[in-house]
Structure 1
Amino acid sequence: MRSGKAKVYIDNPPGISPIFEITESALMRHLVEKTQLLGKLEIVFGSGADGFKEGIRNAEILVGWNFPTASLAHMAPRLRWIQLISSGLDHLLPLNWLPIDVLLTRASGTHRQRTDEFVTLSLLMLNNQIPKIVTNKKSGRFEDHYVDNIKGKTTLVLGVGAVGSIVAASARKLRMKTIGIRARDIPSDVVDEVYSVNQLRDHLPRADFVVVATPKTSRTIRLLGRAEMDCMKPGAGIVNLSRLGVVDEIALMDYLGKECFSGVVFDSTEAAASPSTIRLANANNLILTPHSLNNDREHFRQNMLKIFVENLERYLLGKALVDLVDPLREY
């Protein structure tokens, strides 16, 4: 039986966008119907290095995104659970800093509606060769081109997790066939067919579109690399929703230069002035989009807080947490 209150430290990094900032009023709107929880919590909000050092000192629960990890066990000896406000955690890898007795959870599914709309838009742009039209416009060319309907074409989804499931649903609404590739060939009803990552090259030649939606881990770096691109059918399109590095950027530039692909939509988390962003922005037949397009201005924070409060209730009741990260798998 738990005795005393669980101290929760909410870490808001300096300069964080209002979309991601966890305010007291926003959190309380989700806790107002959970009166049984309020009496069991001591909630502290903070920002910056000094705020983190002080707030984490006696905290049992940390909610944040990008925080100091060095000497975390020493700074927070009572810490037992970390809830990330995002689904991505590649910025925290490797997880060798995570104390063995501390749970780490993500917030998967916060982008569901926006991801659906973005993927639908991207697939339709690729099918209609919009990246090529944009490239032609830059060079003053205006050429006719003709394409087939998207219905009946095949989308290969690389990574059938929370995001990949949304991708598959988007493709199905466009009446497309779907192939799922995941770490293990565990059956999935969100795609028509599912195979293990070891079979990726066998099925790439079947895909009209490849959507990369796998988490970035030490095992997925350059998962769609030169050898994989060489297996793709001429004129196929790529949508990248993963962090930079999962798709081999240099190989991608080469294949675009040879006009092997119909086009690429590349979602980027990189800063606008980074070398990678500049290279991608200048590539022909590639549309570079800022990662912010996947963030729902109205619903992201409330979706994330809903996940946190559900996990908070589970934690206090001693139940298994949702979106628990396996440190060995890195997601």
Structure 2
Amino acid sequence: MTTRFRLHLENGRLRNELFHLTHEQWTQAAARHPDLAKQIDVSVGWDGDILENALQDADAMLAGPIDRPKIIQAKKLKWLHTTGAGVDHLLPLDWLPEQITVTNSSGIHGDKTEDFISMALLMLHNKMPQILANQTNKIWDMIHEFNIRGKTATVIGFGDVGQAAGLGAKRLGMKVIAVTRSGTAQPLADETISVSQLDTVLPRTDYLIVAAPLTADTRGLITDARIALLPKGAGLINIGRSPIVDYDAVVKHLASKQLDGAILDVFDKEPLDQSSPLWTTPNLLVTPHISCDAPDYTQRVLDCWFANFAKFITTGQLDNKVNRQLGY
């Protein structure tokens, strides 16, 4: 590159510090990519304190919080990279100027997601929600269960997070059914279907794992009626987005024993309100949106961005591009 590249890192102080893009975090990542970092002038902002000035000459922005009006006015900005994989907070993308390409951090969550899903499946299969409740109530009830090997996990959404979830199930010897928009065969899955065929596999699904992004098509996908199609005693895990699943229906089907257990990691409002009935629903485990995020999360984000920057300056192309029409 003959001219220096301008990057702005934007933060929100109310976000968990795990996701903060600080000068110190940048310095650590830059030390791993010295040849690339020396071509970049970087600024770091908090809650919009320098955003307007920074966007006057920024070529790219790496951000958690998004100030739409200021981005619309950023005439030089060509590249917006999000710190997460989901971009539902930006949808629909009709507000975004055409010259701006959006990329996400898909691909950085895999190993943590795989571990979490293996853990979650084993906890549900071995009745740990019931056992934890029994411990709280000082009840000695010897619950025995067969091995999980051979059970079927249906994974809704088979992008990077969904594939990692599938691997978490496969490592336990489970059969994996992948549910994708197109139904194109997935090498990691034993079977692949399109979303339109979902109802045909639910009756033979022992564990339903939701790992899809939130889009107009996935919102409200897992309804009361669809949960009722699962075999009695099935389990449900949501690591995607909460509006994909009817949580009232989850509570209802846990009470009726249609669902044997559930683990929910994502919620409409986070932190989950203390008055929410989900906290005290029997056989339901609430996890605080931790399924995909490791302690070195920000370094993973920055490594992802540096890899994309390297591709950009050599080919003019970018990986992890978000499709404006599909929303992911």
Return the TM-score normalized by structure 1: 0.92
Rounded to whole Å, the distance in 2 between the matches of 1:273 and 1:127 is 25
* Structure 1 position 302 matched with structure 2 position 299: yes
Shift of 1:219: 1.1
The answer for the alignment partner of 2:22 in structure 1 is 23
Counterpart amino acid of 2:299? Answer: Q
Counterpart amino acid of 1:230? Answer: A
The answer for the alignment partner of 2:162 in structure 1 is 164
What is the percentage of aligned positions where both structures have the same residue? 27
Rounded to whole Å, the distance in 2 between the matches of 1:38 and 1:93 is 31
Return the TM-score normalized by structure 2: 0.93
2:258 paired residue among 217, 240, 260: 260
**Structure 1 alignment gaps of length 5 or more:** none
**Structure 2 alignment gaps of length 5 or more:** none
Counterpart amino acid of 1:31? Answer: A
Shift of 1:138: 5.1
Which region of structure 1 is more displaced relative to structure 2, 201-210 or 44-53? 44-53
Counterpart amino acid of 1:78? Answer: K
Aligned length: 327
The answer for the alignment partner of 2:230 in structure 1 is 232
Report matched runs for 1:93-242 at 5 Å. Answer: 93-137=91-135, 141-242=139-240
The answer for the alignment partner of 1:243 in structure 2 is 241
1:272 and 1:278 in contact (8 A); partners too = no
Counterpart amino acid of 1:198? Answer: S
Distance 1:34 1:263, change over 3 A: closer
Counterpart amino acid of 1:248? Answer: D
C-alpha deviations, 1:206-265, integer Å up to 9, x for none?
A: 111111100111111111112211211111101110111111112112111211111001
2:232 and 2:259 in contact (8 A); partners too = yes
Rounded to whole Å, the distance in 2 between the matches of 1:157 and 1:243 is 14
Shift of 1:84: 0.8
Rounded to whole Å, the distance in 2 between the matches of 1:28 and 1:137 is 47
Rounded to whole Å, the distance in 1 between the matches of 2:266 and 2:244 is 12
Rounded to whole Å, the distance in 2 between the matches of 1:224 and 1:274 is 22
Shift of 1:139: 5.5
Shift of 1:152: 0.9
Which region of structure 1 is more displaced relative to structure 2, 248-257 or 188-197? 248-257
The answer for the alignment partner of 1:327 in structure 2 is 324
Describe the SS at the equivalent of 2:237. Answer: strand
